[in-house]
């Protein structure tokens, strides 16, 4: 359910970006894959991010229609609704990476891949463990696996290292949508990250995605609130490194929410993470987890 909700949310956000997609801050065109070498189609925005962070972008010959990070010069070979068989045939892949969820992959695609001898892998990216595992599995499918995958997993584990002091931040509420308000509950990878790093979730039972009314916020009485509110991909970060908005700066970005009386707003223990990829289950979660941890440490006085 969480994966379906996040897919729908991501699709809605990306539809709003379509009018200015050509202006988005994307990577420059990668060098052409070596003749006779691997040719990878990344039919998932998350997979594209992972391949980039693995240093494998130069192997990509096709991308997902909602991709936000790869070069726009790469052909679109499908999206979350359909796989473009003709586009796939034109790019002559050797490996196709999908993220199709619980649905059966289209029979036409499965048959074509078998007939053409393409290697295929459908990535599962719904939990923290899924993300960690897929980093290594994707790299292992490519020639000469290297230590970059291990380094990325090690960094993910590092930023998720629990700190008992973070209990001092009190009950932390994770929000994604603010109009309407949507909470990220148990089962979501964001909730799992919060727990893994030693935070105390304000919601301990319920679905991975929970709609909240103002009275629910008052009832929950969170001591701190972290809002995931992705900015447009063409908007650069505030500085060299990604940094969350905290305190007064965060509250200024949440005028409607700030009117709800909760301990979090009284203490100004509010953070807004606006990384464009903050809702995409990939290596981008390393940055998101780092920002979450920094906020928790500030609120716990450590």
DSSP symbols for 82-125: -B-HHHHHHH--SEEEE--TTSPPPHHHHHHHHHHT-EEEE---
Q: Which residues pair with 209 in a beta bridge?
A: 184
The DSSP bridge pattern shows strands 245-246 and 270-273 to be antiparallel
Tell me which H or E stretch contains 52: helix 45-53
The DSSP bridge pattern shows strands 60-63 and 181-184 to be unpaired
Q: In terms of Cα–Cα distance, which of 190, 189, 159, 160 is closest to 175? A: 190
Q: What is the pLDDT of residues 149-204, one digit of tens each?
A: 999 999 999 999 999 999 999 999 999 988 889 999 998 999 999 999 999 999 99
d(CA 196, CA 173): 15
pLDDT (0 to 100) of residue 144:
82
Low-confidence ranges of the chain (pLDDT < 50): 5, 7-27
d(CA 95, CA 73): 19
pLDDT (0 to 100) of residue 23:
39
pLDDT (0 to 100) of residue 51:
98
pLDDT (0 to 100) of residue 301:
82
Q: Which conformational region is residue 247 in: left (phi greater than 0), alpha (psi within -120 to 50 degrees), or beta? A: left
Tokens 């990325």 belong to 152
Positive or negative: CA dihedral 110, 15, 235, 22:
positive
d(CA 111, CA 181): 43
Helix axes 45-53, 128-140, angle to 10 degrees: 60
CATH of domain 2-157: 3.40.50.1980
Q: In terms of Cα–Cα distance, which of 228, 227, 179, 182 is closest to 206? A: 182
Tokens 């390393």 belong to 286
User: Does residue 283 contact residue 49 with C-beta atoms inside 8 Å?
Assistant: yes
pTM of the model: 0.87
d(CA 202, CA 224): 9
Domain with CATH 3.40.50.1980 in the chain: 2-157, 162-299
Per-residue CA distances from 111 to 62, 106, 178 (Å):
19, 9, 43
Q: Which CATH number fits domain 162-299: 3.40.50.300, 3.40.50.1980, 1.25.40.10, 3.40.190.10?
A: 3.40.50.1980
At residue 209, the 3 state secondary structure works out as strand
Q: What is the DSSP letter of 32?
A: P
d(CA 277, CA 283): 10
Q: How many residues does the chain have?
A: 302
């Amino acid at each position: 359910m969480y994966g379906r909700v996040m897919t729908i949310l991501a699709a809605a956000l990306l539809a709003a970006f379509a009018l200015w997609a050509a202006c988005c801050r994307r990577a420059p065109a990668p060098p052409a894959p070596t003749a006779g070498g691997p040719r990878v189609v990344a039919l998932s925005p998350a997979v594209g991010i992972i391949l980039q962070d693995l240093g494998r972008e130069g192997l990509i010959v096709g991308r997902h229609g909602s991709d936000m990070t790869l070069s726009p010069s790469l052909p679109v070979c499908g999206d979350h609704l359909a796989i473009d068989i003709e586009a796939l045939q034109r790019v002559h892949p050797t490996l196709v990476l999908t993220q199709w969820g619980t649905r059966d992959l289209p029979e036409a695609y499965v048959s074509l891949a078998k007939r053409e001898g393409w290697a295929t892998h459908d990535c599962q990216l719904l939990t923290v463990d899924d993300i960690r595992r897929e980093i290594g599995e994707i790299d292992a499918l490519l020639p000469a696996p290297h230590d970059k995958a291990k380094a990325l997993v090690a960094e993910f584990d590092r930023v998720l290292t629990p700190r008992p002091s973070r209990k001092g931040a009190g009950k932390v509420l994770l929000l994604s949508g603010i109009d309407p308000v949507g909470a990220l509950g148990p089962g979501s990878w964001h909730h799992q990250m919060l727990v893994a790093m030693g935070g105390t979730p304000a919601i301990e039972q319920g679905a991975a995605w929970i709609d909240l009314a103002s009275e629910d916020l008052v009832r929950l009485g969170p001591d701190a609130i972290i809002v995931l509110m992705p900015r447009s991909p063409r908007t650069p970060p505030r500085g060299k490194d990604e940094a969350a908005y905290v305190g007064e700066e965060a509250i200024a970005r949440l005028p409607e929410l700030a009117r709800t009386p909760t301990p979090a707003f009284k203490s100004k223990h509010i953070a807004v993470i606006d990384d464009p990829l903050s809702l995409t289950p990939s290596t981008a979660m390393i940055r998101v987890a780092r920002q979450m941890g920094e906020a928790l440490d500030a609120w716990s006085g450590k």
